[in-house]
Amino acid sequence: MGQPHVIEHKPVIINEIKCCEVESSFLQEIAQPQCLEHKPIIVNEIKEIDDRNSVQRGDPVLLIVEDDISFSMILKGICHKKGYKCLWASTGAEALDLSQKYLPKGITLDIELPDMSGRQILEKLKENPETSQIPVHVISFDADEALSLQKGAVGHLTKPVMSSDIEKALSNVCHTQKRSIKNVLVVEDTYSEQQAISNIIKNKNIFATIVDSGLKAIEKIQNEQFDCIILDLQLPDISGAELLRRINTLPTIKLPPVIVYTGRDLNKEEFDELNEYTSSFILKGINSKDRLLDELDLFLHKIKSKDNSQQNTQAPSNPNQSIENVKVLVVDDDMRNTFALSSALKKKGLVIILADNGKTALDKLQSEPGIELVIMDIMMPVMDGYEAISRIRMQKQYDNIPIIALTAKILPEDKNKAFEVGANDFLTKPVDVDKLLSLIKLWYAHAQNNLVRK
């Protein structure tokens, strides 16, 4: 656990608490999936979310038992990548029912569910000879609880936010406010985390009011005085930043200090936005979140290596190496250049769409469906390559589209900047077509394999 370091940021104090010293970078920020859509999910839709309708006999199936929907979706993504189909249960009863019906290859179990304790679920699984041998991976907010369960399960891990983090943040709030905290509003929609946070706070003789949505939080704060807000950024109705903005516009309400915690790194805009309102204390669970996901990966790896029957049923991982008919957008204002380049690429079977500046490029992406890769010159009139690339990356559907920047020899710092705004790679002008083709092949295959963790 690193020491919190204070960054001067008038008039705001930000304490970042990091779980590990590994620095994240602009690339990660760019690669980070944007916040999940903040719309309430209706339970009927959820059954569509897992793969129960497409599971066939002999399919490798994994059961995810977790009451946090957005987190379940992340877990599901990892399992899919490893070639598993997923079932999803948000209650213990449903988990037991599904594990009987489908006999999954493995189970990931959140031990704090609304209807049953993790211990009960594990005992029931063990009692039944059919399910007693299924490896179980325990995911828990409370390390001690998980440890005590470890006997029956394969292993355990702790959820992103550590109690010590929250304690530290609370004492920081006390310290900067120069008064003690008596009354805290907790805005958190996941049951297990509500429980965990309220346990931590109770130990400190602080009174906690828990609400599970942004709108309810606004309602509460109008009728009651709070010394501090503990805020999960991923709420079902409005975003954390939006919540702060709305509270801030309320007449006569002064926004108290906010402890924000987030399962991922914030990008600069989000960071600035949160800091507009109040002295926020940002808890970054990013590295522990990563650990959580990595450990799931390792669990899957283990059950896969034990289970040889699956080795052969796996689809071959050979990427399609052909770049025939791949649609490429070439953006360059120098017509002679563009013509030579595009005819060379056409000869190799690529389909070329042209644009002569960044703005036209953005329009073409809209009007020409199915563009799979972008080659972007940097120096252009109207809108240069940097701006165009960062605008492309702002749109969620282009998270994974490969972008190769063309930089000028005389400006070596261009290369870094191209990366910072979200290019995957670059070549120096004048462009050697063979070199460009190798890169197109490489990044196209990379995107096909969708190797970026979503």
Contact residues for another protein, defined by CB under 8 A: 22-28, 31, 154-155, 157, 290-291, 294-295, 297-299, 301-302, 312, 316-319, 321-322, 412-413, 415-416, 419, 425, 427-428, 432, 434-439, 441-443, 445-446, 449, 451, 453
For residues 300 and 330, which CB has a smaller minimum distance to another protein in the complex?
A: 300
Query: In the complex, what is the shortest distance from the CB of residue 449 to another protein, in angstroms, rounded to a whole number?
Result: 8
Query: In the complex, what is the shortest distance from the CB of residue 111 to another protein, in angstroms, rounded to a whole number?
Result: 17
Could you give the C-alpha distances from 126 to 109, 121, 130, 144, 153, in angstroms and in order? 14, 9, 9, 21, 10
For residues 276 and 432, which CB has a smaller minimum distance to another protein in the complex?
A: 432
For residues 141 and 281, which CB has a smaller minimum distance to another protein in the complex?
A: 141
For residues 13 and 427, which CB has a smaller minimum distance to another protein in the complex?
A: 427
Could you give the C-alpha distances from 317 to 192, 249, 449, in angstroms and in order? 38, 53, 8
How many Cβ atoms sit within 10 Å of the Cβ of residue 25?
12
Find the largest Cα–Cα distance for the chain: 75
For residues 88 and 426, which CB has a smaller minimum distance to another protein in the complex?
A: 426
For residues 124 and 137, which CB has a smaller minimum distance to another protein in the complex?
A: 137
Query: In the complex, what is the shortest distance from the CB of residue 98 to another protein, in angstroms, rounded to a whole number?
Result: 23
Query: In the complex, what is the shortest distance from the CB of residue 240 to another protein, in angstroms, rounded to a whole number?
Result: 24
| Cβ proximity of 357 and 382 under 8 Å | yes
| Cβ proximity of 382 and 359 under 8 Å | yes
Query: In the complex, what is the shortest distance from the CB of residue 277 to another protein, in angstroms, rounded to a whole number?
Result: 30
For residues 31 and 351, which CB has a smaller minimum distance to another protein in the complex?
A: 31
For residues 208 and 403, which CB has a smaller minimum distance to another protein in the complex?
A: 403
Query: In the complex, what is the shortest distance from the CB of residue 450 to another protein, in angstroms, rounded to a whole number?
Result: 11
For residues 21 and 48, which CB has a smaller minimum distance to another protein in the complex?
A: 21
Query: In the complex, what is the shortest distance from the CB of residue 294 to another protein, in angstroms, rounded to a whole number?
Result: 4
For residues 6 and 22, which CB has a smaller minimum distance to another protein in the complex?
A: 22
| CB contact set of 397 (below 8 Å; sequence gap of 6+) | none
